[in-house]
Structure 1
Amino acid sequence: MTDAGAQLRELLERDELLVCPGVHDPLTAAVADAVGFDAIYMTGYGTSLSKTGYPDAGLITMPEMIDNAATIQERIDVPLIADSDNGYGNATNVVRTVREYIKAGVGAIHIEDQTFPKRCGHTKGRQVVPREEAVGKIRAAADVRDERGEEFVLIARTDARGTGDGSLDEAIGRVNDFLEAGADVAFVEGPTDEDELERIGREVDGWLVYNFVGDLGSSPYVELEALESYGFDLVLFPIASTLSTIANVHADLAAFAEDPVDAMRDIDDAFNDRPLGSLHEFSGFPEVVEWEERYLPEEDQEKYEGSLGDDLEGE
């Protein structure tokens, strides 16, 4: 693929809201890519839950997050926006964090101003570092972007609105400072109603993100047309695939516990009703066969003669 950051910047420069579903691994990313989106988001909560079995409470490490991001970006044909939590330390840690995400090839990351260990931006108990420290971390991230990947998109997030004594004034002040320090996009986490969204759009001078978490968090359900009218440029649906996975797997396995054979028929039918081809086609087996035909000795193709199973050729 072409440079993911450059692709993402072109999308942000369009005069329309960019909608990004959240995914938590290469499989859910492949599904999102098959549906067709201009950009995809890697959720930190879903990554933590899928890779460790634990929630977004600072329990996942930088290498685990970057490995997931790199593998997802490799699997899809559109830019990936990746969660990078709080940069995994102070400003010097942020230098390495941003370098590693740029090497991973993703289009963008967002860095927040929470303390360590951080937690989901829609749970109680969050704390933020002093504003000066947070600005220094964004300045460090911006310098790495300028040195290592100019098209890479840096999203700066504040969780100040959700702290015990947080205010919208403080949150808006922080993201404007982040933009001045070199961030490309501003991200105020946790606005509580549409009046706050309208004010953010009015008082923040830069590209804007809205984090659409639904019933999981404190921010409102809002129509996309309203977000556009307030001045937002990008909307993330971070836990879309994670909630869908949990809910649907639970429903299917509950049915499986009652009658495995009938449940398996229903699962097969549900998959076959989707425009994905067979599981082998969706997963990329035809491409593997193509690699074998192109690069392996001709006698290696003899393994297919007389063997049983899907022919793996695709449509």
Structure 2
Amino acid sequence: MPAPLKQLLARGTVLSVPGIYDGLSARLVELAGFEAAFLSGACLSFARFGRPDMGLVSAAEVAESVAVIRERTELPLIVDMDTGFGNALNVKRTVATFERAGASALQMEDQLMPKRCGHMQGKQVISSGEMVGKIHAALDARHSSDTLIFARTDALGVHGFEDALERAERYLEAGADAIFIEAPKTVEQMQIIGAQFGRRTPLIHNLVEGGNTPVQTLEELQALDYRIALYPASLLHLFIPAAQKMLAELRHSGHLQSMRDQMIDLTAVNSLLGADELLAASEEYQYE
């Protein structure tokens, strides 16, 4: 049984958390030896719906994905709940639904709906007071205190660094279990964030290829007093060019013989996903 998320965060070292979007990606992350996974709202929108991260995925669709992934893995699952899908009352229902589906932690941001990717231009944020109310609603709605509430602010790219710090302070005072100041622009800003919050609460950072990410390694984050390193889209950022290369070869040559050494086969996929274990389990139900 994997360690609970609270226990992992109490160790004082950086927790590396890849982004996932379905049962296969969850299985790959688990087999690779990671201790937690992040259901990225962006990647769910990319992979399942073929849409950009612009608030087009519904709460029900996320909840269904949480349930599917939870059936496949026991890893602690951090779930991106965007803005909570509405006001404080919507937040209460979202938290209850996602927790029931199997979320270990819920990450909520202070963007104005419809939200967009934190590394895109044109974001808007709600007032810090409204977000504080939504944090209280989330805390009231959770069934277990082991279900963590992570508060993210996107204010840095909208109102500037000082406003982001002030909001983070208010969100921590409201009871958030971790703080996430999205898209700092420089290492110096991250040093200030770490100095102000790092000894008081787990700090989260997104390492997004092509986004605003001043650092690249877990060692750098550790030195800055951060505790959670999210790699929300790395799997897809690798998968997409590989898929494009394969499709181009198939379209051009009509076969994939030149790429077979880069691919696994059906037998390997079944082994990866536990087909033998399922077949063995089914024998328990064979009666004469």
TM-score, with normalisation over the residues of structure 1? Answer: 0.86
CA distance in 2, matches of 1:264, 1:249: 15
Out of 43, 63, 71, the residue aligned to residue 66 of structure 1 is 63
Out of 145, 148, 152, the residue aligned to residue 147 of structure 2 is 152
Runs of 4+ in 1 over 4 A off after TM superposition: none
> Aligned AA for 1:28?
S
Aligned 1:52-201 pairs, distance under 5 A: 52-145=49-142, 148-163=143-158, 166-201=159-194
CA deviation after TM superposition for structure 1 residue 74, in Å: 2.1
Q: Is the 8 A contact 2:66 2:103 kept in 1?
A: yes
CA deviation after TM superposition for structure 1 residue 34, in Å: 1.4
Aligned 1:1-315 pairs, distance under 5 A: 7-145=4-142, 148-163=143-158, 166-204=159-197, 205-215=200-210, 217-261=211-255, 263-264=256-257, 266-267=259-260, 269-272=261-264, 278-298=268-288
CA distance in 2, matches of 1:196, 1:277: 49
**Corresponding pairs, count:** 286
CA distance in 1, matches of 2:27, 2:258: 24
Percentage of pairs with the same residue: 37
CA distance in 2, matches of 1:77, 1:264: 38
CA distance in 1, matches of 2:264, 2:236: 22
> Aligned AA for 1:208?
L
> Aligned AA for 1:191?
P
CA distance in 1, matches of 2:19, 2:254: 31
TM-score, with normalisation over the residues of structure 2? Answer: 0.94
Q: Return the index of the structure with the highest Cα Rg.
A: 1
List runs of 5+ in structure 2 lacking aligned partners: none
Q: Is the 8 A contact 1:213 1:219 kept in 2?
A: yes
List runs of 5+ in structure 1 lacking aligned partners: 299-315
Q: Is the 8 A contact 1:135 1:177 kept in 2?
A: yes
**Alpha carbon RMSD of aligned pairs, Å?**
1.8
Task: Describe the shift of the 1:264–1:89 C-alpha distance in structure 2 as closer, same or farther (beyond 3 A).
Answer: farther
Task: Describe the shift of the 1:220–1:277 C-alpha distance in structure 2 as closer, same or farther (beyond 3 A).
Answer: farther
Residue range with higher mean Cα deviation, 126-135 or 67-76: 67-76
CA distance in 2, matches of 1:193, 1:224: 16
